[in-house]
Amino acid sequence: MRPTAEHAGISMTGETMRKLTHLLALVLPVGVLLFDERTTFVILFPTTLAALAADVLRARSASFSKVITSLFGSMMRDKEVPEIGNPVIINGATWTLLSMTTLLIIFPASLAVLAYSLAMIGDAFAAMAGRTWGKHSWGRLGRPGCTLEGSAAYLVSASLTAFLLGGGAVLSFSPYSLPLFPLFAGSLVATLIEISPLPGNDNMNAPVFAALSMLLIYNSFYGFSYPLFPLIP
């Protein structure tokens, strides 16, 4: 499959490396599992601010931008490389940090871990499947670059991730053993949001909407009482 405008400026090798960083970003929910949400947040929040500062700096400093491009340019899309003096562009890696930070602020740790994990894994598999086998575009119904094949890969991989984590098949010792229907609903919502041409970035939109949908279903139909903004005393 030829790269679309969405993938402009990045080769298949670069795309693969880019998605591997998405999988490496799973260290963030692992941090929640190993420690707790507050400890993870204390580490994650300043890291996210530093990433945002780097994005600002590379839009203002030609020398700094050159260093960043030399290190990570092969994994960056054309639209993520701003001209000096132009508006700041937040790159995909920063969005993943912002995403987990936002999830930990708004949602309980269990939903944050589930939503972030299924979205990151779904996105990685969707990109690889879409660029390798994608032939049927969503056209006007979806974002540029999204294909039916990629979306199917997203839904399957996200659902499996949610079932393995949330269904207790792997982390049976964790508090994430939850009903399967809401887990599938979260995966489906993430898939649809990833397709949709919404403003913002799918690395933020998909996990946040997935977590919100799971919370609403849990609280409405399963007698759970997940709160919002759990880190606020």
Region 20-48: mean pLDDT is 85
pLDDT classification of 98: cutoffs 50, 70, 90: very high
What gap in Å lies between CA 205 and CA 69, rounded to an integer?
Answer: 26
pLDDT beyond 70 at 20: no
How many CB atoms sit inside 10 A of residue 163's CB? 18
Which tens digits make up the pLDDT trace of 178-187? 788 889 999 9
What does the pLDDT read at residue 16?
Answer: 60
CA dihedral sign, ordered 151, 171, 110, 91:
negative
Please answer whether residues 167 and 199 qualify as being in contact, where contact means their C-beta atoms are separated by less than 8 angstroms.
Answer: no
What gap in Å lies between CA 222 and CA 179, rounded to an integer?
Answer: 8
Q: By C-alpha distance, which of 156, 220, 161, 209 is closest to 186?
A: 209
Please answer whether residues 153 and 128 qualify as being in contact, where contact means their C-beta atoms are separated by less than 8 angstroms.
Answer: yes
Between 200 and 76, the higher pLDDT residue? 200
Structural domain boundaries in the chain: 5-221
Q: 64 CB contacts (<8 Å, ≥6 apart)?
A: 54, 57, 58
- pTM, whole model, 2 decimals? 0.82
Between 35 and 176, the higher pLDDT residue? 35
Phi, psi (rounded to 5 degrees) for 8: -55, 135
pLDDT classification of 231: cutoffs 50, 70, 90: confident
What does the pLDDT read at residue 173?
Answer: 44
Which tens digits make up the pLDDT trace of 117-167? 999 999 989 988 888 887 888 877 778 778 999 999 999 999 999 988 887
Which tens digits make up the pLDDT trace of 54-93? 989 988 888 887 887 776 655 666 666 667 877 888 888 8
Residue tagged 């994994």 (tokens): 75
pLDDT beyond 50 at 37: yes
Which residues, listed in sequence order, are joined to residue 147 by a DSSP beta bridge? 137
How many CB atoms sit inside 10 A of residue 59's CB? 19
